[in-house]
Amino acid sequence: MKLEQAAVRDDFASTWRYQPLPNFYDEMLGADGSVRPHWRPLIEALNSIGPAGLGARWQEGRRLLHDNGVTYNVYGDPRSTDRPWPLDPIPLVIDENEWAAIAAAIRQRAALLNAMLADFYGTQRMMRNGIFPPELVFRHPGFLRPCANVPVPRGIYLHNYSADLARSPDGRWWVIADRTQAPSGAGYALENRLVSQRVMPDVFRAMQVHRLADYFQFNRELLRSLVPHHHDNPRVVLLTPGPYNETYFEHALLARYLGYTLVEGADLTVRGKAVFLKTLGGLLPVDLIMRRQDDGFCDPLELRGDSVLGVPGLVQAVRMGNVAVTNALGSGLIESAAPAAFLPTVCQHLLGEELKMPTVATWWCGEEEQLAYVVDNLARLVIKRTFQGPNVQPVFGAKISDPARQKLAAEIRRSPSDFVAQEQVALSTLPVWQDDRLAPRHLVLRVFVAAREDSYEVMPGGLTRMTSSLDSLVASMQHGGGSKDTWVLSSGPTAQTTLLTAPSISLEVSRATFDLPSRVADNLFWLGRNVERVEATVRISRAILTRLYHESDPASFAGIAAGMRILLALGHLAPRPTKATNGASKEARDAALEREMLAMIYDTDGKSELGATLRQLRRLAWLLRDRFSADAWRSINRFDQKFAAPSRVEALRMGGALNLLDDAIVTLSAFGGFAMESMTRGHGWRFLDIGRRLERALLMVDTVHNGLSVRAIDQNAELQTLLEIADSALTYRSRYLTSMQAGLVLDLLLLDEANPRSVAFQLARLVEHVEELPAREVSSRKSAEWKIVTKMLTALQIVDAAELVRSDESGKWSNLETLLATIGNGLRTLSETIARHYFDHSLASRQMSL
């Protein structure tokens, strides 16, 4: 046995080159350098995989994260709204017995904090009796007076609670922060699990790791039991501040995973004392709001008048018992560090128990002795603001200069109640995978609690976050730390719960038709339009680039010119001074054209229309990520990143650009396929498809209008290019062999209802769609949209291709021009009409006070 241990140790040290730090607790290695018993199975597995094997597996893990688009937002980072989620392959392993103690302590803490909130918002007995300083409540901006004495179903304020834990060198766990109003991270923990389980399925199974799915199941059951009405099929929404929030990815993930509708404040409205979701099908009652928005922002009427977010009248609806909100409005009150200084007493008082897990030593300067201690010991304390949220950066006494410390001490003496000091825990370390070896990092473990009807359920696992470097003791995604999965070991086999295996589970099926917020319909419509816009640009660019390659072909020039005219008309290329190009040699002209095309495709100057369209596409896809299956999202996310990050070397070569364009076509088709095959045929799908059809028809009109020059010497080359851009060359050849005739080409591109690329085909689909749109008023008459589309379709149906290519006195094909203008204008009117009727959700709200 001894020998075996030593072998594991030596083997391990030489293979992975892991050096823990002295004076810190290491999660994996004991003080004597031996692997702790509960880590042994993992280390043995890692040893047999080896660094190279782990590297290979981890590439797969990163690909999964990348493809799933797992991101978080960094505030104040103008470069992007989201960053890839940093996950490390080595999990934090926690022994079953140790976990049982942690879980018991966290359950107790959840019950305690809940009881405190009930007291503060109810009788305030603790303050009256001198157990808890009233100043910490009365001065706290998170003490929402309108929420006092508001009934809370089952007395539950904290439906979800999370705590950040740290381990000190003596091996004890401490609570270092509480999250009580809208705790984030459970979704990321879930995503981490999905990835780590995929990358190390063998190890995961062999180690009997506790599963996370039950936690979400319990959470869902509780929410169902809280709703005031409609118990059988309650409508639960997840309220997000929006896509620019730090953890929007998680909001979308949880909404999809739990089967809730993801909404923003503007999607909800209070009517007659109850809350409703504004959908295309009208107002639908909402039974429960799971909020991820800070409570002060939830109701501009009663909470913060300066906030435009939120739902006016929400507090009143809660007060009337018509809607439940989780966590209860006002629960942010105890997120501050200061209450921790009083928890041991409060715990005795409220629960009659000892506090099971201590909070890191905390001093609230509002009390005289504590103030004296803090001022004398500033250099070894972390200083926080009493009445600011947990996201404000604390000051580390050790890291500031003497004068700065003196200044801080003076500031604290001036308004002592505004400051809290905490001891800095010497955070434990654990290995992270870095540069083909394992290196130590400090960690903080976030654990999650969900309330049940009469108890609290702790998620067996959690989100382990690391500091960004060894000198830093701040574990924060905002500051560039990484994250890990957390494996809680079980002594028996763990049950398989199916919920986990289906991250994209959608419970929308039965309601998809009705629950579509009009804001989402708007976004889907524009997503459809932008997808088509990108596809058309890609096809036109490809036609041009291919022809630049085949310069020996004399017909290619007319094709290139046609393509350029279309791109110019669509705003992709700047108008070119004809003089300069006419004088130059063909080689110089081609080189200039090539440069221009590459600049456009890769958006090198950040000004290209394609770049802007791609950014818009990315934004919309991001806004809509909860609406798509994981597969559809992956396809579009992958696509977006290709253009976003071109290889520098490839960017210089035409071949690279052509490959990119070829790939892009495939990806766009894949996205179209997912949309066709996987989206339920509700209004969501319909608006996406309306956007696509409308844009495709419009682009075809523009393509024909600009691509065809009636008097061209080499009209065949133009027609050939048009067919290629319209992806209809094959159809044409199979029908007419190689004889190019303008009339036949126009018939195929404009009039042929059997060609899925033709304008007529798009209009026929649009007629079907607008017939299914929810009626704006009760009337048997046809809608304005129907009339517009039908008029256009009829115009196409009654025209003959031969008429279109008939020259008038001035030699122009005026019939064609008139038809194209009619259709173009009709499509633009249709777009405006739909927007006016269905997307009118953005009325600005205003304060009515004097």
Partner 1 sequence: MILRTTHTTTYKYSDTVAICHTEARLAPRSTREQTLLEHELLIEPQPSSLVSYTDYFGNSVTTLTIDEPHETLRIEAVSLVECHGLEAIHPALTPPWEQVASAVRRYTTDQTFEALQFTYESPRVRPAPGFADYARVSFTASRPLFEAALDLCHRIYTDFKYDREATTVTTPVEEALHSRRGVCQDFAHVMIACMRSLGLPARYVSGYLRTGGGSVGAHASHAWLSVFCPGFGWLDLDPTNDVIPSTRHVRLGWGRDYSDVPPVNGIALGGGTQTITVDVEVKPTRPLDA
Q: Which residues bind partner 1 (CB under 8 A)?
A: 124, 127-128, 134-135, 138-139, 145-146, 148-149, 269-273, 300-302, 305, 312-313, 316, 319-320, 843-850
Nearer to partner 1, 30 or 146 (CB): 146
Q: How far is CA 358 from the centre of its chain?
A: 35
DSSP for 410-468 reads HHHHHSGGGEEEEEPP---EEEEEETTEEEEEEEEEEEEEEE-SSSEEE-SS-EEEE-S
Question: CB pairs under 8 A, 24+ apart, for 100-107?
Answer: 101/356, 102/165, 102/173, 102/357, 102/447, 102/458, 103/447, 103/458, 103/460, 104/356, 105/173, 105/356, 105/357, 106/163, 106/357, 106/447, 106/449, 106/456, 106/458, 107/449, 107/455, 107/456, 107/458
Enumerate residues 6+ apart whose C-beta is below 8 A from 652.
Answer: 598
Nearer to partner 1, 1 or 848 (CB): 848
Q: How far apart are CA 234 and CA 682, in angstroms?
A: 20
**Partners of 420 in the beta sheet?**
364, 384
Nearer to partner 1, 220 or 304 (CB): 304
Q: How many other CB atoms sit within 10 Å of the CB of residue 379?
A: 12
**Residue 555: CB minimum distance to partner 1, A:** 59
**Residue 417: CB minimum distance to partner 1, A:** 9
Q: How far apart are CA 241 and CA 551, in angstroms?
A: 54
Nearer to partner 1, 127 or 651 (CB): 127
Amino acid at 292: R
Closest C-alpha to 751, from 739, 764, 740: 764
Nearer to partner 1, 274 or 630 (CB): 274
Contact at 8 Å (CB) between 161 and 175?
Answer: no
Nearer to partner 1, 306 or 605 (CB): 306
**Residue 301: CB minimum distance to partner 1, A:** 5
Helix axes 683-707, 654-678, angle to 10 degrees: 140
**Residue 308: CB minimum distance to partner 1, A:** 9
Enumerate residues 6+ apart whose C-beta is below 8 A from 409.
Answer: 375, 378
**Residue 847: CB minimum distance to partner 1, A:** 7
Helix axes 715-725, 518-549, angle to 10 degrees: 140
Place of tokens 């086999």: 493
**Residue 832: CB minimum distance to partner 1, A:** 20
DSSP element (H, E) containing 802: helix 801-804
| Length reported for the chain | 850
**Residue 148: CB minimum distance to partner 1, A:** 5
**Residue 524: CB minimum distance to partner 1, A:** 24
**Residue 663: CB minimum distance to partner 1, A:** 46
Nearer to partner 1, 139 or 642 (CB): 139
Nearer to partner 1, 315 or 531 (CB): 315
**Partners of 35 in the beta sheet?**
29
Contact at 8 Å (CB) between 328 and 152?
Answer: yes
**Residue 122: CB minimum distance to partner 1, A:** 12
Closest C-alpha to 634, from 70, 18, 125: 70
**Partners of 271 in the beta sheet?**
274
Closest C-alpha to 522, from 842, 223, 192: 842
Dihedral of alpha carbons 409, 413, 418, 420, sign: positive
Q: How many other CB atoms sit within 10 Å of the CB of residue 59?
A: 11
Amino acid at 816: L
Nearer to partner 1, 345 or 669 (CB): 345
Helix axes 40-68, 2-16, angle to 10 degrees: 30
Q: How far apart are CA 742 and CA 456, in angstroms?
A: 74
Give the three-state DSSP class for 741. Answer: coil
Closest C-alpha to 347, from 103, 521, 116, 50: 116
Q: How many other CB atoms sit within 10 Å of the CB of residue 276?
A: 20
Q: How far apart are CA 519 and CA 204, in angstroms?
A: 42
Q: How far apart are CA 456 and CA 356, in angstroms?
A: 15
**Residue 843: CB minimum distance to partner 1, A:** 4
**Residue 482: CB minimum distance to partner 1, A:** 40
**Residue 632: CB minimum distance to partner 1, A:** 34
Nearer to partner 1, 314 or 381 (CB): 314
Place of tokens 């999650």: 448
Nearer to partner 1, 146 or 390 (CB): 146
**Residue 392: CB minimum distance to partner 1, A:** 19
Nearer to partner 1, 322 or 541 (CB): 322
**Residue 279: CB minimum distance to partner 1, A:** 16
Q: What are phi and psi of 813, to 5 degrees?
A: -90, 75
Q: In what order do the strands lie in the sheet with 324-326?
A: 261-263, 236-239, 288-291, 324-326
Nearer to partner 1, 553 or 840 (CB): 840
Amino acid at 764: A
Q: How far apart are CA 287 and CA 182, in angstroms?
A: 18
Nearer to partner 1, 270 or 593 (CB): 270
**Residue 362: CB minimum distance to partner 1, A:** 22
Nearer to partner 1, 112 or 301 (CB): 301
**Residue 145: CB minimum distance to partner 1, A:** 4
Nearer to partner 1, 63 or 145 (CB): 145
Contact at 8 Å (CB) between 680 and 512?
Answer: yes
**Residue 139: CB minimum distance to partner 1, A:** 5
Q: How far apart are CA 194 and CA 47, in angstroms?
A: 23
Q: How far apart are CA 797 and CA 794, in angstroms?
A: 5
Nearer to partner 1, 406 or 845 (CB): 845
Nearer to partner 1, 645 or 843 (CB): 843
Place of tokens 């004890």: 172
